[in-house]
Chains A and B, each alone.
Chain A
Amino acid sequence: MKKLIVIIVTVLALTGNLLAEKQTLQIEGSTTVGPIADAFVESFKSNYPELEITVKKTGSGDGAAALVDNRCDIATMSRFMKDDEFKKAVDKGVFPVAHVIAMDGVCVAVHPSNPVTELTTAQVRDIYTGKINNWKQLGGLDMPIVIISRDTSSGTYETFHQLVMGKEQMAAGVEYVNSNPQAHSRIKTTPGAVGYIGIGFIDAEVKALKIDGVEPTKETIISGQYPIARPLFLFTNGYPKLGSLVYKFCTFHLTETGQEIVEAKGFIACTKY
């Protein structure tokens, strides 16, 4: 037993001593932007293998808080900073600068067997407030609507809430899921479902609806015609020093590889190579 303890202690001590100082980059924030940051890191690593980059995906709010407290170098956010977050930052001598790294369209999706192809923003709002509860009211089949929403603390929820719901609250019967993939799988398996997911998650198994007559595509989102779209941000403290690691990371989306990654992750790149 003693030997075992000795071994355990040595192992722990050894691992503790491995804290060699390396160039590090702390990235924290949104779960939506997280996958892009992860993929950027993967690609970065092959160019700069000695780098230590950690990506934490806990939520846009945490990213902002971490940047304000100087706990991270880059905050990933799927929304712009709120007024009070900005105020707090400036009070602490942190000057957040936004870098738009990609666009994300939030699509209202239904089961592919649903004949409804088009809704207006007002109709979507009425569905989520519970005023419309059967597809028949929208010219569809006689089938109750199963409403799927993302967690109240996710960035996607905030975008949807802001762009579609306005000041109104969601109905009680709304089913909350924790992630885009889960929302996707709920919609794909439920004929009466309606949900909202990032455009990257639209595939043959779920059908994205036209909103106010505009189909969610790369073009309509970039041109701003599609109403439920948002830019995704990286926030840094001041504009990063040219040539610094943070600068390289924040401008990586402007490179061809960066664009490829953004597109591979299902978002819409700001560049067009």
Chain B
Amino acid sequence: MRFFIRHITDKIFTILTVLSVIMLVAILAVILVPMLRKGLSAIVFNGTIEFRKMQLDLFSRGDIDELKNEDIRSRLYRNKIYETIESFKQNIDSETLSDKAGVIYRNFGKELQRKNIKGAEYQKLRSLSRELRDKLQAVFKSSDKKFIQENISDVLKFKNDIAFKDTSIDGLFVLAEDFASDIEHIDLSRRQQYAASLKELENIITKLLGPNPSLPVPALKMDRYGATRRDIAEKLLNRLLWLEQWQQDSPGKPMKRVITPRAELFAGTEIEPLFNYIRENLDEILVFKPAFYWQYFIDDSTPGHYFGGVWPEILGTVFLTLAAMIFVFPIGIISAAYLAQCQSDNLIIKIIRMAINTLAGVPSIVFGLFGLAFFVLYLMPLFGGPSKPCILTAALTLAVLTLPVMIRASEEAIRSVPQSYVEASLGLGAGKLTTFISVILPAAMPGILTGIILSVSRVAGETAPILFTGAIAFGPTPKSIFDPTRTLSYGSYDIAIGDKLAALVPHNQYGMVATLIMLVFCLNIAAIIMRAKISRKLKGH
């Protein structure tokens, strides 16, 4: 019995250890797979005509003629949507009418100034016209037919006033008359409600199809194009078709999400069939085509990474890494050589080793503090530079951070060079320096390179030390090493947490972090393979 228990414990233990390792692999998969898979969708996806338009406008890329043809075809389908909405709007939209009245009023003011009417006369006409405008605007907002009719007839009384003859105020009377005839056929009580629903509908349609071509081009690039990809288009279509509301069944219970077809809001109107129309013709309206957007890696982005790629981030990361390596490479190699060549463990060596270990243990955020206090606030002004975070300060901070990695890897590489090489070289009469440069260094190079690659991957992935020493979330491409830069690491943080727009484009969020992971992984896998080769070679000896 006792033997049995011991045996079982032993087996369970073995299984547990196996499980722990399987768990490691599973963790790696669980973390990587979703991020890389979603990141891939930033590059390979089903693009719409809006995507191709954006590419053409912002990055002058794509086939203009083909796009024109596509555009003409999709316009055929789109126009129906715009026409239907426009004609429906005529009846119910009080805001546009109010705005029109406002414009007429303003134009009248300009006209008066042009005509050089001044003093009391000007004031009288101006206040009278304002009165008319206010009355009309009140009419447009009202749903009381009697009130409307009274006010409109009030306004129309002035139609033949001599002062308004042949002025732009005429427009107000036209508006008033049109409105009076329009409202005879519609249910005014629902007008307010229609207006609100229509506004929401128009918003979604603008997001789906891009702005109505008859309106002025929006100021921001992100508002100029509709859904660029199938997944976003489908999300928007869902929002278009279904109305989400929160309702409470009974007091004391949480409100429940109630989803109803949006078409119900417009039951019986000309808008109602529009929903089915859009759903059925989505392919023709948006002209889906598979896109392989490899330019994601070489494109700049619009604010918030709404459109475009991660080129500035890649460039910034590469610059930072290169600059850091320039500092860390010589110091790292020389220190490693010194440590490796000194056989005796005297006090100085012990102190240096202690320092390296301490440095390796300093938390990365403390490096950030140090970089801020020393490089940014102390060293830069000392050399007459601007006391602001920039690539140089960030690179120096990262160099300090990665120094232990570099020294340790290089030392190990130098130590693993067989003593026979050294002895042969020394035996041939070469000096220590010559031996080191022409024998040890080349032999240790693969190992040192592994160290470099590992420090590069560390530098590329670090975020905390550059938070205050040179990373920005959005800004111009740096012109020199005295400018701050965007980086993949800080960008990944910002796009996950800080940016409202990024949440609308999840593929770009994941694309950024996937780029970072891929970069670091390629470097690490290269290092792993290189080390495997070295160890095979060493075994060969």
Interface residues of A (CB under 8 A from B): 5, 8-9, 11-12, 15-19, 35, 38-39, 42-43, 52-57, 71, 112-115, 141, 143, 178-182, 184-185, 191, 200-201, 204, 207, 257, 260-261, 264, 266
Contact = CB atoms under 8 A, between A and B. Distances in A.
A12 B221 CA distance: 33
A18 B254 contact: no
A113 B475 CA distance: 39
Interface in B75-107: none
Nearest to B472: A56
Contact of A54 (B246, B325, B475, B481): B475
A264 B473 contact: no
Nearest to A54: B475
B94 to A, nearest CB: 15
B251 A115 contact: yes
A111 B230 CA distance: 29
B500 interface: yes
Contacts of B476: 52-54
Interface string B374-387: 00000000000000
Contact of B497 (A11, A143, A181): A181
Nearest to A178: B497
Nearest to B246: A112
B503 A43 contact: no
Nearest to A136: B252
Given A15-B480, A19-B479, A115-B255, A43 B500 contact: no
Given A115-B254, A178-B497, 14 more contacts: A8-B322, A19-B480, A42-B220, A42-B221, A43-B219, A54-B476, A57-B473, A113-B254, A114-B254, A182-B497, A201-B500, A207-B246, A261-B219, A264-B219
A94 B304 CA distance: 33
B131 interface: no
A63 B473 CA distance: 17
A240 to B, nearest CB: 22
B254 A264 contact: no
B314 to A, nearest CB: 15
Contacts, number: 97
Interface of B: 218-221, 223, 244, 246, 248, 251-257, 302-304, 322-323, 325-326, 388, 472-476, 478-482, 497-500, 502-503
A113 B254 CA distance: 6
A181 B322 contact: no
A47 to B, nearest CB: 11
A141 B252 contact: yes
A261 B218 CA distance: 9
A204 B258 CA distance: 13
B219 to A, nearest CB: 5
A53 to B, nearest CB: 8
B220 A141 contact: no
Given A113-B256, A181-B500, A38 B326 contact: no
10 contacts: A15-B480, A16-B480, A16-B481, A113-B254, A113-B255, A114-B255, A179-B499, A182-B498, A207-B246, A264-B220
Given A39-B303, A112-B255, A180 B500 contact: yes
A12 B323 contact: yes
A185 B481 CA distance: 36
B76 to A, nearest CB: 29
Nearest to B244: A204
Nearest to B476: A54
Nearest to B304: A35
Contacts of B472: 56
A57 B256 CA distance: 39
A12 B479 CA distance: 10
A141 B253 contact: yes
